[in-house]
Amino acid sequence: MSAYRGRFAPTPSGPLHLGSLVAALASFLDARRARGRWGLRIEDVDPPRCPPGAADAILRQLEAFGLHWDGPVAWQSERHDAYAAALARLEALGLAYPCSCSRRQWRDHPVYPGWCRDGVREPDKPRAWRLRSDLGLRPVRWEDRLFGPQAFDPAELGDVVLRRKDGLWAYQLAVVVDDADQGINEVVRGADLLDNTPWQRQLQHALSLPAPRYLHLPLILGDDGQKLSKQNLAPALPDTEPEARPLLHRALALLDQAPPAALAGAPVDEQLAWAIDHWAPSRLRPALARGEDA
Ligand code: GLU
């Protein structure tokens, strides 16, 4: 088996919160336990969603929690040429096509019906690029390390957008190209991305790229039963080590790792050393954890 290469890939649309800490921590522990590499990729592929300073804030938060990454930080905003090459390759394979349709036009369909597959309908309008899902129709299958066997019918997935009408690269394309170029063979991330994985598997297949293994983590819910996220204003994590200690302990408990109570006030490096030694993904439950007073 090749050496473990994992990553944490936050979108810098705001500072990290407890939910993102859980994803960062689990992917870190999984990589460190396997004596693997743990990279950091800032997914700033959509600049209007990324306020200035947010990426720096994330780096400071990760440092405060002792989550030190290997190698230089990768930035999606610097990867235009790689994404363009992947799109050109898909186009040459007849697997990508320009599309002028707007959501409004196909709102009565569950997924985009592929009207532009054989030629753009309205050539004067701005166009997005989509992946053809109707060629080589085979169910998309993979085995998630926590959620088990997954199978999706390409007809349900539709023709995913690769490049948006405003010229920005779509998340699905960027993630697949980056994971492959960075040699990522283990993806550990939140279960909110489980339903994105079939498009990523499709794209890996279309581009003949190796598929990483996937472990999707239980989501952390706030008091209100909603997923913790920037949108529902989950509090930002601190960026100093003393303040990080109790939250790190909390995150380990949310990951069902049962950290000893005595470790709660310990320096983060000490907590992490314990957590790497005891990392047991088999303790995770494919249910939703509750962040309570998160
Ligand atoms: N950038 C995505 C997010 O912050 C995560 C992508 C991934 O881990 O594949 O939700």
Q: Please, where are the H alpha helices in 213-292? A: 241-254, 268-278
Ligand 1 nearest-atom number relative to CA 189: 8
What's the pLDDT score for residue 139? 87
Distance 189 CA to ligand 1 centre (A): 7
Q: Quickly tell me which residue has 């995913």 as its tokens.
A: 160
pLDDT tens-digit map of 187-197 = 999 999 999 99
Three-class secondary structure of residue 94 per DSSP: coil
Say whether pLDDT at 294 is over 50. no
CA atoms within 13 A on the CB side of 280: 10
What pTM did the predictor assign?
0.93
Distance 55 CA to ligand 1 centre (A): 14
Tell me whether residue 230 is one of the annotated catalytic residues.
Answer: yes
Say whether pLDDT at 288 is over 90. no
CATH class of 80-173: alpha beta
CATH 3.40.50.620 residue ranges of the chain are 5-77+183-189+212-284, 80-173
Give the annotated binding-site residues for Zn(2+): 99, 101, 112, 116
Atom 6 of ligand 1: nearest residue by CA position: 9
The pLDDT of 198-203, averaged and rounded, is 95
Give the annotated binding-site residues for L-glutamate: 7-11, 43, 171, 189
Return the closest-CA partner of residue 61 out of 239, 229, 234. Answer: 239
Distance 9 CA to ligand 1 centre (A): 5
Tokens of 284: 């995770």
pLDDT tens-digit map of 220-241 = 776 666 666 656 667 899 999 9
Distance 190 CA to ligand 1 centre (A): 8
pLDDT tens-digit map of 109-126 = 999 999 999 999 999 999
Return the closest-CA partner of residue 257 out of 288, 278, 271. Answer: 278
Separation CA 181–CA 165 (nearest Å) = 25
**CATH architecture classification, 5-77+183-189+212-284:** 3-Layer(aba) Sandwich (3.40)
pLDDT tens-digit map of 28-52 = 999 999 999 999 999 999 999 999 9
Separation CA 62–CA 40 (nearest Å) = 10
Say whether pLDDT at 162 is over 70. yes
Ligand 1 nearest-atom number relative to CA 43: 1
> In angstroms, what CA-CA distances link 103 with 125, 161, 195?
14, 12, 20
Give the annotated binding-site residues for ATP: 230
What's the pLDDT score for residue 176? 98
Which residues does a 6 A CB cutoff place in the pocket of ligand 1? 9-11, 43, 175, 189, 193
Q: Kindly indicate the confidence band of residue 129, based on its pLDDT and cuts at 50, 70 and 90.
A: very high
